[in-house]
Amino acid sequence: MTHSYEHRQSGAALLVALIMLLVSTLLGLASIRGTTLNEKMSSNMYDRSLSYQAAESALRAAEVALAADTTLGTDCTNINERCPPIPANTFSTSDVTGWEDVDASYLVNEDLLGASPQYYIEKMGEVGGSAGLDQINDPLCKSYNPPSGCIPPPAAQFRITARSGVPAADGRSVVALQITVEQNL
């Protein structure tokens, strides 16, 4: 008396195998999606890092230019025409008025950045100088007579805005940095 198994099987193994195949496919797709997202985030961080370094080099270039010539930049000392906190065309893709390109001696990789870093200088006015809070013991004040009434030399105050390059339509990261510099006159 032999029984035929063909009549007793209901196809459960096939159903379980298809469900397991579906689950493993979904896990594979989720891991591919996660890996792709991580790669995009990593490349964005790399692009941002390059842009930040380029903006820093533009700040240094502007400081060197100011040390050589304190007449540079836009004059913001007129009380009726105050300069905005950042230049109006900082993130403009077409208007580069007032922006100076950094020269090649600052070793920026324009091929990776897609543009040359730039800086914008604004003269904010004149201040009392950079003798510091402890004027009596300050080395700059010790050279003046009399030291008890030390008045530091006048200084011009500049605001430097630097950007990693002209914003482009390709979606590359653009970093803008800003510092304030005093130059003794």
Residue 64 lies in a domain: yes
* CA 109/CA 80 separation, integer angstroms: 41
Whether pTM > 0.85 for this model: the answer is: no
Query: What are the tokens at 150?
Result: 């030390």
Q: Please state the domain count of the chain.
A: 1
Assess if residue 123 is contained within a domain.
yes
* 166 part of a folded domain: yes
How many other C-beta atoms are found inside a 10 Å radius of the C-beta of residue 91? 12
Residue at token pair 């077409």: 94
* 3-state DSSP assignment of residue 163: strand
- Inside any domain, residue 6: no
Domain assignment present for residue 115? The answer is: yes
pLDDT at 12: 82
Q: What is the pLDDT of residues 146-173, one digit of tens each?
A: 555 566 677 888 999 999 888 776 777 8
Domain holding 100, by residue range, is 12-184
79 vs 70: CA distance, rounded Å: 20
H helices of 4-120, in order, are 12-68, 110-113
Q: How is residue 149 annotated by DSSP? A: G
